[in-house]
Amino acid sequence: MSDFGENGVNANVNGDGGQADTQPPINKELAENLAALKEKGWNNPIPFNYEAVVGAAVKPEGADAGDEPAWLGSAAVYEWDDDFGEIGPENAALEEQLFRGEHLMKAGIHLKTLHGFDVDVKGVERPPPVRDFEHAGLHPALMANVKLCGYHSPTPIQMFTIPAVLTGHDVVAIAQTGSGKTAAYLIPILSKLMGKAKMLAAPRPNPGRYNPATDRVRAEPLVLVVCPTRELACQIFDECRRLCYRTMLRPCVIYGGAPARAQREQLEMGCDILIATPGRLMDFMSNIDRLSLARLKFTVIDEADEMLSTGWEEAMDKIFSGSDTNDDADHTYLMFSATFSKETRKLAREYMEDGFVKIKVGRVGSTHQNIKQEIHFVEESAKNDALFDLIFSGDPQRTLVFVNSKFKCDAVDDFLYNKGLPVTSIHSDRTQREREDALRSFRTARCPILVATGVTARGLDVANVKHVINYDLPSTQHDGITEYVHRIGRTARIGNDGRATSFYNDRNEDIGEDLVKILLESKQEIPDFLEDKKPADPENIEWNDGTDDEDNDFGGGLGGAEEAGGFEGGFGGGFGGDDSAGFQADDGGFQAEEGFAADTNDKVASW
């Protein structure tokens, strides 16, 4: 899979902040490893092509092949020209980059299993779900882009979020990792803005004939999306580039570590959708001549539980009420995550309008059954060998290895590299260039093994990650089972299969009980050494973290929602859940809409 040098060793020129550009010294053991790895298929080279990578910029004409790769955030967006009318003409090169290629995620055969969870919707008003994109009332340009993305039907979180946003509600949405939450908020937001963009957007010179010497404008976005990590910001930007294709909506991304100047120049060309990490956003917000939030119609907080946790308070306050932020009632707020502790759910409520809608797919913090989870007992001193054996014993596949420290990250990367494996690594002490290169190498399978600290756990969406290995399990001091759920959620995304193997030893006692509960809930095997961690009644797990008892969290804000209650049962049964029955939604499941009509809340019925 990796790009091997002449003597069979991965040249590893990119994506490797910790290692030099040299090959490991060949000794007998390494030579044998390399031969064995080659035999297994690890040595099928995949050409490394930056242009083929989502996130790469279309290089200017005349640029050398050896030119520095662009920052993920400088990726090409559709260049609108005011002469275009409603929908712009196709751009074959951009379309190829945005919508085609091996590196793009494809929905897996278990997509229907996403429908196996109970969906719980609470709110004074609860718009009925959409059963397909065609009948969701989406703008034609957006609909065309959804098709180009290959999204044939909405996932449950999309079914419920799309109508809630289209009908103007604030939303708190919680659904499993890899279940399409990004599109769940982008699709309705962008659809609502398309067609109105000309009227709502700040005046700006014709973007198609932009002259930087004379035409710079202040950025006045209509949408702000904030998320905790740089890589996630770039990924949301990519999804936005796809969904804004052939429209005048112009997405931009700002994030730390990459040059602010290039980001400022992008904003000066006009910005309708701004995706940002909090630190860089604060920097830009401090200059109101450069960035104004007065036109904002939507603010989205992605990975909201992380953003509401300690350390981000100042940023969150500024985002919600600082600067010149539009504080009129026409500003909608949305929060999304796969996990949401009781404390952060309470905090979330303080930021939302009274009539907000809360959508929950499955238990908060639950995970999929199509991640095959295994726990191996491995002492600290035996972890390196166990890791190599585990990787070596399987087929060549994209593998993500999580460790708990930057030091360990470098060390494990070096260890695997010196064993002849095509590996790279990422952690927060690396420069942003190194982080982006590592991710590109992983995405393109130039380096199909990535060693990472938790910095990568949230949100990362890479196609074909088949195996997540917790070389270290997260400790309870560092988000414990919440981080575990995010980490293993890097595999088995959007209906694909995946495997998660964790090394456990006496040092991990603290997470043992939570781990067993998750294994039980997702019907995985419990190893003997964890038997004593089993809850008293495995059929009736008490989570003790508020995830199974949250009716009170949203208290007054949700008005009479609890009485209505039609959803929890309604959709759980309706969507079936196993492969054969899942999409009986058509005949059985959507009768739950009748459940809505029967709701005591009249307004719901009228939607």
Ligand X SMILES: Nc1ncnc2c1ncn2[C@@H]1O[C@H](COP(=O)(O)OP(=O)(O)OP(=O)(O)O)[C@@H](O)[C@H]1O
CB of residue 99 vs ligand X: minimum separation in angstroms? 11
Give the torsion through C-alpha atoms of 55, 163, 110, 374, to 10 deg. 80
Phi, psi (rounded to 5 degrees) for 281: -65, -45
Among 74, 182, 191, 373, binds ligand X (CB under 6 A): 182
CB of residue 230 vs ligand X: minimum separation in angstroms? 15
**d(C-alpha 509, C-alpha 506), whole Å:** 6
CB of residue 240 vs ligand X: minimum separation in angstroms? 11
Number of residues interacting with ligand X: please give it, by CB under 6 A.
19
Of 105 and 357, nearer to ligand X (C-beta) is 105
- 3-class DSSP state of 354: coil
Query: Counting contacts by CB under 6 A, is residue 241 touching ligand X?
Result: no
Among 129, 163, 180, 257, binds ligand X (CB under 6 A): 180
Of 80 and 484, nearer to ligand X (C-beta) is 484
CB of residue 124 vs ligand X: minimum separation in angstroms? 26
Of 179 and 418, nearer to ligand X (C-beta) is 179
Using CB atoms within 10 Å of the CB of residue 108, give its burial: 0 to 12 exposed, 13 to 18 middle, 19+ buried.
middle
Which of the stretches 16-24, 38-46, 65-73, 488-496 binds ligand X when contact is defined by CB under 6 A? 488-496
Binding to ligand X, residues 514-553 (CB under 6 A): none
- Please give the angle made by the CA atoms of 309, 235 and 359, to the nearest 5 degrees: 55
Query: Counting contacts by CB under 6 A, is residue 181 touching ligand X?
Result: yes
Among 192, 408, 493, 517, binds ligand X (CB under 6 A): 493
CB 208 within 8 A of CB 82: yes
Query: Counting contacts by CB under 6 A, is residue 365 touching ligand X?
Result: no
Of 201 and 227, nearer to ligand X (C-beta) is 227
Contacts of residues 553-559 at CB distance under 8 Å and 24 or more positions apart, as own/partner, are 553/342, 553/345, 553/346, 553/349, 554/122, 554/172, 554/345, 554/349, 554/358, 555/349, 556/354, 557/349, 557/352, 557/354, 557/356, 558/122, 558/123, 558/124, 558/356, 558/358, 559/123, 559/124, 559/354, 559/355
Of 366 and 418, nearer to ligand X (C-beta) is 366
Provide the H-helix boundaries in 107-173.
140-149, 156-166
Query: Counting contacts by CB under 6 A, is residue 572 touching ligand X?
Result: no
Of 229 and 292, nearer to ligand X (C-beta) is 229
Q: How many residues does the chain have?
A: 607
What beta strand segments (E) does 72-127 contain? Answer: 119-122
Record the tokens describing residue 192, joined without a space.
């609502």
Site string for ligand X, 76-115 (x = CB under 6 A): -----------------------------x-x--------
**d(C-alpha 533, C-alpha 65), whole Å:** 56
Record the tokens describing residue 379, joined without a space.
């002492």
DSSP string, 564-590: H-HHHHHHHHHT--STTTGGGGGTTGG
Site string for ligand X, 125-164 (x = CB under 6 A): --------------------------x--xx--x------
Among 18, 459, 576, 595, binds ligand X (CB under 6 A): 459
Query: Counting contacts by CB under 6 A, is residue 238 touching ligand X?
Result: no
Query: Counting contacts by CB under 6 A, is residue 479 touching ligand X?
Result: no
Of 180 and 365, nearer to ligand X (C-beta) is 180
Of 80 and 442, nearer to ligand X (C-beta) is 442
> Could you tell me which of 104, 102, 105 has the C-alpha nearest to residue 46?
102
Query: Counting contacts by CB under 6 A, is residue 177 touching ligand X?
Result: yes
Of 461 and 514, nearer to ligand X (C-beta) is 461
**d(C-alpha 114, C-alpha 370), whole Å:** 10
Which of the stretches 118-126, 361-369, 421-429, 486-494 binds ligand X when contact is defined by CB under 6 A? 486-494
Which of the stretches 281-289, 309-317, 401-409, 487-495 binds ligand X when contact is defined by CB under 6 A? 487-495
CB of residue 181 vs ligand X: minimum separation in angstroms? 4
Binding to ligand X, residues 393-432 (CB under 6 A): none
Query: Counting contacts by CB under 6 A, is residue 483 touching ligand X?
Result: no
Query: Counting contacts by CB under 6 A, is residue 494 touching ligand X?
Result: yes
Phi, psi (rounded to 5 degrees) for 333: -115, 135
Residues 6+ apart with CB under 8 A from 390: 376, 469, 501
Of 461 and 599, nearer to ligand X (C-beta) is 461
Query: Counting contacts by CB under 6 A, is residue 305 touching ligand X?
Result: no
| H or E stretch covering 307 | helix 304-307
CB of residue 298 vs ligand X: minimum separation in angstroms? 17
Of 43 and 464, nearer to ligand X (C-beta) is 464
Residues 6+ apart with CB under 8 A from 65: none
Query: Counting contacts by CB under 6 A, is residue 567 touching ligand X?
Result: no
Please give the DSSP secondary-structure letter assigned to residue 254.
E
Phi, psi (rounded to 5 degrees) for 524: -105, 165
**d(C-alpha 489, C-alpha 503), whole Å:** 17
Look-up of token digits 């003790």: 544
Query: Counting contacts by CB under 6 A, is residue 188 touching ligand X?
Result: no
Query: Counting contacts by CB under 6 A, is residue 340 touching ligand X?
Result: no
CB of residue 197 vs ligand X: minimum separation in angstroms? 23
Which of the stretches 177-185, 370-378, 546-554, 561-569 binds ligand X when contact is defined by CB under 6 A? 177-185
> Could you tell me which of 436, 197, 437 has the C-alpha nearest to residue 298?
197
Of 147 and 603, nearer to ligand X (C-beta) is 147
CB 426 within 8 A of CB 439: yes
Among 268, 306, 436, 461, binds ligand X (CB under 6 A): 461
> Could you tell me which of 154, 156, 155 has the C-alpha nearest to residue 121?
156
> Could you tell me which of 436, 437, 442 has the C-alpha nearest to residue 466?
442
Of 457 and 604, nearer to ligand X (C-beta) is 457
CB of residue 490 vs ligand X: minimum separation in angstroms? 7
The residues binding ligand X (CB under 6 A) are 105, 107, 151, 154-155, 158, 177-183, 338, 459, 461, 489, 493-494
